[in-house]
Amino acid sequence: MLKGADDVVVMEQEDSASRHGEMTSWDINDIKLPQDIRQTDWFQEWPDSYVKYIYSSEDKNAQRHHSSWAMRNTNNHNSRILKKSCLGVVVCGNDCSTLDGRKIYLRPAICDKARQKQQRKCCPNCNGPLRLLSCRGHGGYPVTNFWRHEGQFIFFQSKGAHDHPRPETKLEAEARRSIQKAQTAFSPSSPRLKRIREIESLTGAMPTREALPLLLSKTDAYLLPANFGRRLSKSPRELTLGSC
């Protein structure tokens, strides 16, 4: 009886191994891809090396062909397969570090002209030169990702291993740009801040919140200095008399 139970276990293991082999033996270019799939994979944000995943067609990240690597669409002769290539990472030419010891790994721009313009800018940490580390992890060429929608599944295949650090994610890049815009808006040489100071010198006080939209855009109204409230010591009536 025990021998029979052991035989059942062995048969189940062999059957599972056989199904696993079928699930991993496919190639993105195959005419027919497996459809008898009992369990799909969890979405991978940083796929690396030569890997394959099968996602559900309802997975939002898979539907958007999302990747935290900086990938751009590449021409492909097969219209059923989406091909994406890695752009690498933008680093500081001085190899500087932030106060908490982190390196500068910026996300490359997708457009060629924007990426060239990006490299002419300065490092946001030390104002040094920026340079692009291109991806060469697929036999000297960029790592390539392939996406293919078939029935209820989305097949993903990566070819090549990234030979460069991970860039900042899209959310991190957007947050960094927002902070830079806020700092620029209220830098000593900012035209917007100069207008506020001119009004302050004429009236003797900062303009009221009601008057600010006439001078600044709606976005600027959310970028006021931290001591804005304390500086509004005069009443609106006093401000009006002072401006007269």
* Rounded-to-integer distance, Cα 70 and Cα 54, Å: 21
- pTM recorded for the entire structure: 0.65
Query: Among 127, 104, 110, 108, which residue's Cα sits nearest to residue 119?
Result: 108
Most confident of 20-24, 138-142, 197-201, 233-237: 138-142
CA distance 185 to 27: 51
Predicted pLDDT at 129: 95
Position 236 pLDDT exceeds 50: no
Mean pLDDT of the chain: 78
Mean pLDDT of 26-32: 94
Domains of the chain: 52-183 (2.20.25.670)
Spatial contact of 181 and 196, defined as CB atoms under 8 Å apart: no
Determine the pLDDT at residue 118. Answer: 93
Give the position of tokens 């931290």.
226
What the block records as the tokens of 61 is 């990240």
pLDDT one-digit tens code per residue, 49-106: 999 999 999 999 999 999 999 999 998 788 899 999 999 999 999 999 999 999 999 9
Contacts of 7 (CB under 8 A, 6+ apart): none
Choose among 178, 144, 180: nearest CA to 161.
144
How far lies 12's CA from each of 3, 20, 25, 123, in Å?
Answer: 14, 12, 20, 57
What confidence score (pLDDT) does residue 196 get? 62
